[in-house]
Chain A
Amino acid sequence: MADLEKIMKEENIVYKKTKVLTDNVMHYCPGCSHGVVHKLIAEVIEELGIQDKTIGISPVGCSVFAYNYIDIDWQEAAHGRAPANATATKRLMPDKFVFSYQGDGDLASIGAAETLHACNRGENITMIFINNAMYGMTGGQMAPTTLVGMKTSTTPYGRNIDLNGYPMKMTEIVASLPGTCYVTRQSVHDAASVKRCKKAIKKGFENQAKKIGTSFIEITSTCNSGWKMPPVEANKWMEKHMFAYYPQGDLKDAERDNPDDYIKYIK
Chain B
Amino acid sequence: MGELKLMKGNEVIAEAAIRCGCDGYFGYPITPQSEVMETLMARKPWETTGMVVLQAESEVASINMVYGGASCGKKVMTTSSSPGISLMQEGITYIAGAELPCLIMNCVRGGPGLGTIQPAQSDYFQACKGGGHGDYHLIVLAPSSVQEMNDFVNLGFELAFKYRNPAMILSDGAIGQMMEKVELADYKPRWTDEEIEKISGDWATTGKKANRKQHIITSLELDSEIMEKLNHKLQAKYKKMEEEEVRYEEIQCDDAEYIFVAYGSSARICQKSIQIAREKGIKVGLLRPITLYPFPTKPIQKLAEKVKGMLSVEMSAGQMVEDVRLAVNGKIPVEHFGRLGGIIPSPIEVVEALEQKIIGGK
Q: Are B94 and A71 interface neighbours, CB within 8 A?
A: no
Q: A67 → chain B, closest Cβ, in Å?
A: 5
B-contacting residues, A44-79, CB 8 Å: 51-55, 57, 64, 67, 71-78
Residues of A with C-beta under 8 A to B94? 77-78
Complexed CA–CA distance, A222 and B54 (Å): 37
Nearest CB of B to A97, in Å: 9
Closest Cβ neighbor of B204 among chain A residues? A73
Interchain CB contact under 8 A, A76 and B214? no
Instruction: Please state if A92 and B52 are interface contacts (CB–CB under 8 Å).
Output: yes
Structural contact, A88 and B26, CB atoms closer than 8 A: yes
Q: Which residues of B contact A38 (CB under 8 A)?
A: none
* A88 contacts B214, C-beta separation under 8 Å: no
The answer to whether A81 and B24 touch (CB under 8 A), given A52-B207, A55-B205, A88-B69, is: no
Residues of A contacting B54 with CB < 8 Å?
87-88, 91
Indicate if the CB atoms of B64 and A114 lie closer than 8 Å: yes
Q: Does A93 contact B (CB under 8 A)?
A: yes
A54: chain B residues within 8 A (beta carbon): 207-208
Give A93 to B204 CA distance when docked, in angstroms. Answer: 12
Closest residue to A22 on the B side, CB-wise?
Answer: B214
Contact with B along A85-126 (1 / 0, CB 8 A): 111110111001000000000000000011001000000000
Q: How many Cβ-Cβ contacts under 8 Å join chain A to chain B?
A: 124
Tell me the chain B residues, 24-83 only, with Cβ under 8 Å from chain A.
24, 26, 52, 54, 56-58, 60-62, 64-69, 71-72, 74, 76
- Are B215 and A73 within 8 A (Cβ)? yes
Whether B91 sits at the interface, judged by CB under 8 Å, is yes
Q: Are A89 and B69 in contact (CB under 8 A)?
A: yes
* Residue of A72, A85, A92 touching B208 (CB-CB under 8 A): A72
Q: Which B residues are CB-close (under 8 A) to A73?
A: 205-208, 214-216
Choose among B71, B208, B216, B220 the residue that contacts A89 (Cβ–Cβ < 8 A): B71
Q: Could you tell me if B216 and A117 are in contact, using CB atoms closer than 8 angstroms? A: no
Interface contact A74-B217, CB-CB below 8 Å: yes
Alpha-carbon distance A76/B74, docked complex (angstroms): 17
Cross-interface CB contact of A81 among B60, B210, B217, cutoff 8 Å: B60
Q: Which residue of B lies closest to A90 (CB)?
A: B68
A175 at the interface (CB under 8 A from B): no
Measured CA separation A114–B64 after assembly (Å): 10
B residues within 8 A CB of A57?
68
* A77–B219 alpha-carbon span in the complex (Å): 9
Known: A87-B65, A117-B57. A52 touches B216 (CB 8 A): no
Q: Interface size (A, Cβ < 8 Å)?
A: 30
Contact A74 B65 (CB under 8 A): no
B339 to A: closest C-beta gap in Å: 36
Task: Report how far A114 CA is from B28 CA in the complex, Å.
Answer: 14
Q: How far is the CA of A204 from the CA of B21 in the complex (A)?
A: 33
Q: A92, B216: Cβ atoms under 8 Å? A: no
- The reply to whether B205 and A113 form a contact with Cβ atoms under 8 Å apart is no
Whether B206 contacts A84 by the Cβ 8 Å rule is no
Given the complex, which residues of A lie within 8 Å of B98, measured CB to CB? 76
Contact A76 to B210, CB < 8 A, known contacts A81-B91, A85-B64: no
**Residue of A at shortest CB range from B67?**
A85
Tell me which of A53, A71, A75 contacts B71 (CB under 8 A): A75
If the complex has contacts A92-B74, A93-B206, are A84 and B61 also in contact, measured as CB distance less than 8 A? Answer: yes
**Chain A residues closer than 8 Å to B346, beta-carbon distance:** none
In the complex the two chains form, is B208's CB within 8 Å of A52's CB? yes
Is A117 within 8 A of B208, CB to CB? Answer: no
Bound-complex Cα distance A49 to B284 (A) = 69
Q: Judging by beta carbons under 8 Å apart, are A75 and B60 in contact?
A: no
Residues of chain B in range 262-290 having any CB-CB distance to chain A below 8 Å:
none
Q: Is B218 an interface residue (CB 8 A)?
A: yes
Verify if B99 is at the interface (C-beta below 8 Å from A).
no
Instruction: Check: B180 CB closer than 8 A to any chain A CB.
Output: no
Residue from the list A53, A74, A78 in contact with B91, Cβ < 8 A: A78
Q: Tell me the complex Cα distance, A114–B26, Å.
A: 14
Q: Which residues of chain A come closer than 8 Å to B56, judged between CB atoms?
A: 84, 117
Contact of A85 among B68, B90, B210, B219 (CB under 8 A): B68
Q: Which of B183-227 contact A (CB under 8 A)?
A: 205-210, 214-220
Chain A CB within 8 A of B23 CB: yes
- Shortest C-beta distance, B99 to chain A (Å), equals 13
CB of A84 within 8 A of CB of B68, answer yes
Chain B residues with CB under 8 Å of A93's CB are: 72, 206-207
Q: Considering the chains assembled together, what is the distance between the CA atoms of A70 and B102 in angstroms?
A: 27
Looking across the interface, which residue of chain B has its beta carbon closest to that of A89?
B68
A42 CB → nearest B CB, Å:
12
Is the CB–CB distance between A76 and B217 below 8 Å? yes
Q: Which of A55, A64, A81, A114 is B207 in contact with, Cβ under 8 Å?
A: A55
Q: A67-B216, A88-B26, A91-B54 are in contact. Are A75 and B68 (CB under 8 A)?
A: yes
- Nearest opposing residue in chain A for B209, CB measure: A52
Task: Show 12 A/B contacts (Cβ-Cβ < 8 Å), sorted by A.
Answer: A57-B68, A74-B218, A76-B220, A77-B64, A85-B64, A86-B68, A91-B24, A91-B54, A92-B23, A92-B52, A92-B76, A113-B60
Closest 8 CB pairs between A and B?
Answer: A85-B68, A84-B64, A76-B218, A88-B68, A81-B64, A73-B205, A88-B65, A117-B57
Interfacial residues, chain A to chain B (CB-CB below 8 A): 51-55, 57, 64, 67, 71-78, 81, 84-89, 91-93, 96, 113-114, 117
With A73-B205, A81-B61, A84-B65 already in contact, 4 other A-B pairs whose C-beta atoms are closer than 8 Å: A55-B205, A84-B56, A85-B67, A114-B60
